[in-house]
Amino acid sequence: MNTRIYAVLAAALLSGPAVRAQQPLPLSLAECRERALAHSEELQQADNRLEQARLDRRIAATAALPKIEGSATGAYVLPDMDMMGMDLRMRGTYMAGLNLTQPIYAGGKISAARRMARIGEEVAGEQRRMTRMDVLVEADNAYWTTVAVDRQVRMLESYAAQMDTLYRQTAAAFEAGMAIENDLMRIEAKRSEIRYQLQKAHNGAELCRMSLCRVIGAEGDLYPVPTDTLFRTPRPGMLRPDLASRPELRILEQQVAVGEQQLRDVRSGMLPSVGLSLGYTYYGNIKLQSVVDAGNGTFVPHTQEFRDGIGLAMLAVKIPIFHWGEGRKKVRKARYALQNAQLDLQKNTRLMSLEVEQAIRNVEDGYRLIQTAELALQQAEENLRVMRNRYTAQMAPLTDLLDAQSQWQQAASNRIEAQTQYRIYETEYLRSTGLLE
């Protein structure tokens, strides 16, 4: 068994026997993947981040559009203000207006922000692809590990049945005086060892099934039964170390693009900005009270109320002149950040290339291991057949037969390991090249 299966069996042995669920759930690899994708919280979070990035792009697009704002103000001022012998009364004065602001030129800041928002959306999409592939890798590993342990269980059950048959035959021979008691003791010891291995395998199978239930989001009363258990391993085709579809590479490339836009954004702070503002304000209930001469020396009180609207058009130009070199320092800092992003791209491209080369080698070596394991199993089966015949004809001792059976068990286990590990290697190759969909 490989290290993964050993770890599962050891953990199962320490945790004690698990309780098998009652309701079987036939599960193909495609159904396992579909259920895992539908259940994954990480993938749901990636979907949410993608929607957030789309909203950020739409928000950034509104920066170049005119902004319209409305305002309303009410005031009650005490005491009245003296205006050259007249009283200005503002008790219940109100103002209401609309204001339109349109940026005309911002030194490239708005366009840089829009490009960064678009890049952010693309990065979120690649992160979703990466999360999706991680979920598929986990689902495939859980599925094929369960298949491997189930096959180990069936192989050990077959091995146990062989030993039971051999025990009955040897017991009958012992009763007839044609075998010795030591042979029965050896067979019984081997049967105990097989029962121990079989119990470990059963516990490991239950633990693997629990892990598979967690990946696909199945309830505790379900018992997943893998249905894709027939292994056909054709020779792998042309495996190319192509990174063009790798989401990690695209994310790194987009980080370089973000660094370029951030440099543009910093430079825009050193350029003039132009904006247009249009407004209209309506005011009322402003009163001016005085005393006027009505003639003949008679003075009467007079009140004048003001109600009117005021329009405003303003063009504002902002020109940075002297900021103690702040802008140039920010530009240099942004250049360093861009260089770091480019260096990250170079370094990680080499690392990902090595990862793909290793994945290709694993697939090719895995295929050769299957061929070697199948040949070894054929030889072990033939050796076991010959030893059975010789032992039956009393031409070979019991130890040779037990050794042949042990060799067959090891060869069968090696083939199971090679076949399931090859499937895992295939999935890893597709992930490393960004082709796992």
**Amino acid at position 325, single letter:** G
The residues, ordered by sequence, that sit 6+ positions from 180 with a Cβ below 8 Å of its Cβ are: 174
Q: Give me the mean pLDDT over the 301-318 stretch.
A: 89
Are 285 and 307 in contact by the 8 Å Cβ rule? The answer is yes
Q: Compute and round to an integer the Cα radius of gyration of the chain.
A: 41
Write b or e for each residue in 234-250: b if 16 or more Cβ atoms lie within 10 A of its Cβ, otherwise e. eeeeebebebeebbbbb
- Beta bridge partners, 93, equal 75
CA 370 to chain centre: 32
Q: What is the DSSP letter of 19?
A: P
Which candidate, 71, 114, 65, places its Cα nearest to that of 276? 65
Q: Are 137 and 182 in contact (CB under 8 A)?
A: no
pLDDT confidence of residue 22? 56
Q: Does residue 15 have a pLDDT over 50?
A: no
The C-alpha angle with vertex 260 and arms to 259 and 266, in degrees rounded to 5, equals 85
Model confidence at 220: pLDDT above 50: yes
Per-residue pLDDT tens for 176-211?
887 788 888 999 999 999 999 999 999 999 999 999
Q: Phi and psi for 409 in degrees, rounded to 5?
A: -65, -40
The chain-wide mean pLDDT, for the chain, equals 89
User: Over 80: is that where the pLDDT of 231 sits?
Assistant: no
Percent of all residues in the chain with a pLDDT value above 90, rounded to a whole number: 67
What is the average per-residue pLDDT within 155-162? 92
Angstrom distance (rounded) from CA 284 to CA 96? 9
Taking CA atoms, 111 is separated from 8, 44, 105, 255, 334, in Å, by 54, 31, 10, 17, 17
Class of domain 3-432: mainly alpha
pLDDT of residue 21: 41
Q: Is the pLDDT of residue 270 over 50?
A: yes
pLDDT at 221 over 90: no
Retrieve residue 152's tokens. 């180990």
Say if CB 362 and CB 236 are below 8 A apart. Answer: no
pLDDT tens readout for residues 66-88: 999 999 999 998 888 888 778 88
Of residues 37 and 302, more confidently modeled: 37
Question: Hey, CA dihedral for 39, 7, 2, 158, is it positive or negative?
Answer: negative
State yes or no: pLDDT of 14 exceeds 50.
no
In tens, the pLDDT along 19-33 reads 444 588 899 999 999
Alpha carbon 153 to its chain's center: 33
Q: For residues 156 and 202, what is the distance between their CA atoms, to the nearest angstrom?
A: 10
Q: Are residues 346 and 255 in contact, defined by beta-carbon separation less than 8 angstroms?
A: no
Is residue 118's pLDDT more than 90? yes
Q: How far apart are CA 296 and CA 398, in angstroms?
A: 149
Lowest mean pLDDT among 72-76, 131-135, 229-233, 320-324: 229-233
Q: Are 208 and 149 in contact (CB under 8 A)?
A: yes
Tell me, rounded to whole angstroms, the distance of Cα 41 from its chain centroid: 9
Domain range list for the chain = 3-432
Q: What single letter denotes the amino acid at residue 141?
A: N
Global confidence as pTM: 0.83
The residue written with tokens 């130009």 in the block is 317
Q: What is the distance between the alpha carbons of residues 392 and 169, in angstroms, rounded to a whole number?
A: 9
Q: Give the CA distances from residue 260 to residues 103, 140, 254, 325, 336, in Å, rounded to whole numbers and listed in that order.
A: 23, 39, 10, 21, 11
Partners of residue 100 on adjacent β-strands: 68, 278
Q: Compute CA distances 307 → 282, 286, 287, whole Å.
A: 8, 7, 9
Per DSSP, the residues of 44-107 read: HHHHHHHHHHHHHHHHHHGGGS-EEEEEEEEEE-SSPEEETTEEEE-EEEEEEEEEEEEEEE-T
Over 50: is that where the pLDDT of 9 sits? no
Q: pLDDT-based confidence at 303, cuts 50/70/90?
A: confident
